[in-house]
Structure 1
Amino acid sequence: MTAIPEEMYKYHTWANQTILGRIRELPASVLSQEVNTSFPTLAHALSHIYAVDQMWYLVLTGMEMPEAFQATRPLNERILESLDDYAHAYNELAEQFSTWFQGQPDLEQSMLLNNPFAGPRQTRLSEMLLHLVNHGSYHRGNVSTMLRQLGHASTMNDYALYWYQEPAATLG
């Protein structure tokens, strides 16, 4: 049986693929169309989700959080050229996580997380994974709002819908 944190990460991957699939149905220009909201464009929001996922991957694989944050900061500001580039980056990172999960005997193990914004805290790997998923859900909500502001419908990507769906085909 898959552990809940790993299942939640699989949901996160599915939800990212689902929202990318919806954006793929729209004109390519929508990715860089400016919106007056929390991110200036959909591309900025997608870059942020990816950068934070990458930062947590680095932390989970042993890098101290301040260094992981600095290492991924440029990713947060890097705008990729196409939706295919985002799909490829997301899929590549999901494969790295999949490999990482295979080598994790205990997702409830604790480690000292030295958060540069909040200070040190003993934190379980499972908590970090659930935070990563929650962060992605929050910002996929931003993406849905941005799509509506641009005159397009979004798509459902709730966890409850994931229960009833086959995983989305790998994009890219």
Structure 2
Amino acid sequence: MSLATLKTLFAQKTWANAELFDAMHLVDAVQHAEPLHTATRTLNHIYVVDRIFRAHLLGEVHGYTQTNTDDTPALGDLQFAAAETDHWFEAYVAGLGEAALAESLSFQFTDGDAGRMTREEMLFHVLAHGSYHRGNVGQVLKGIGMAPPRDLLTKFLHQREPARRQPA
């Protein structure tokens, strides 16, 4: 995958996460306490895995022993933390060269097993993992009668670059 494509996909991830968090703030926390908690736990899982792979990419110890936290953060706190991490990934990808993408890194999974992936594979995992679980949250929102944001690359591209809607 090209660096240009990765840059676009991480920008889309930032946008999609912001849209989903904004939608989550519209959920009636009293009437839909359990689904809101489930959705927040899922968003926290995305965040934790993003942080784990951030540490892998930097060769740092992440300190997590599982892929979610025992406590569920407040939605606003989680939104802020996730946005910071999303912006970190955008800046990280912007600073990479093609050769760095192919570099293979060793790390340890939260269950203690060893792993080895290229930077490109790790970055793609972060993208795919987040997309998958944003879909899970979208299903929770549908279950309470709320339409989730449309998490589509086409929508993102056309919002970011309206000229793409013009005939060639």
- TM bucket (normalised to shorter chain) is 0.7 to 0.9
Partner of 2:147: 153
Distance 1:161 1:72, change over 3 A: farther
Q: 1:13-92 to 2 correspondence within 5 Å?
A: 13-29=14-30, 33-35=33-35, 41-63=38-60, 67-68=61-62, 70-71=63-64, 73=66, 75-81=68-74, 83-92=75-84
Q: CA deviation at 1:58?
A: 0.6
Q: Percent identity?
A: 27
Could you tell me which residue of structure 2 aligns to residue 165 of structure 1? Answer: 159
Residues 104-155 of structure 1 show CA distances to partners (whole Å, capped at 9, x for unaligned) of 3332322235546696555221111111110011101100100111222211
Distance 1:73 1:50 in 2: 12
CA distance in 1 between counterparts of 2:47 and 2:111 reads: 20
Of the two, which has the highest radius of gyration? 2
**Given that residues 103 and 119 in structure 2 are in contact (C-alpha distance below 8 angstroms), is that contact kept between their aligned partners in structure 1?**
yes
AA matched with 1:163: L
2: CA distance between counterparts of 1:116 and 1:72? 5
Contact kept? 1:50, 1:76, Cα under 8 Å: no
Q: Is the 8 A contact 2:65 2:110 kept in 1?
A: no
One-letter amino acid of the structure 2 residue matched with residue 87 of structure 1: Q
Distance in 2, matches of 1:145 and 1:87, equals 19
CA deviation vs aligned residue, 1:72-102 (integer Å, no higher than 9, x gap): 6385333112x32122111221233244334
Give the alignment of 1:132-143 within 5 angstroms.
132-143=126-137
Matches of 1:160 and 1:102 in 2, distance apart? 21
Per mean C-alpha deviation after superposition, the further-off stretch among 107-116 and 145-154 is 107-116
CA–CA distance in structure 2, aligned partners of residues 74 and 134 of structure 1: 16
- Choose the corresponding residue for 1:127, options 114, 121, 127: 121
- Partner of 2:106, secondary structure, is strand
Instruction: State the TM-score, normalized to the length of structure 1.
Output: 0.75
Whole-angstrom distance in 1 between the partners of 2:84 and 2:135? 23
1:22 Cα deviation from its structure 2 partner = 1.5
Q: Unpaired segments of 5 or more residues in structure 1?
A: 168-172
Consecutive unaligned residues of structure 2, counting only runs of 5 or more, are 162-168
| SS across alignment from 2:149 | coil
**Counterparts of 2:115 and 2:41, CA distance in 1:** 30
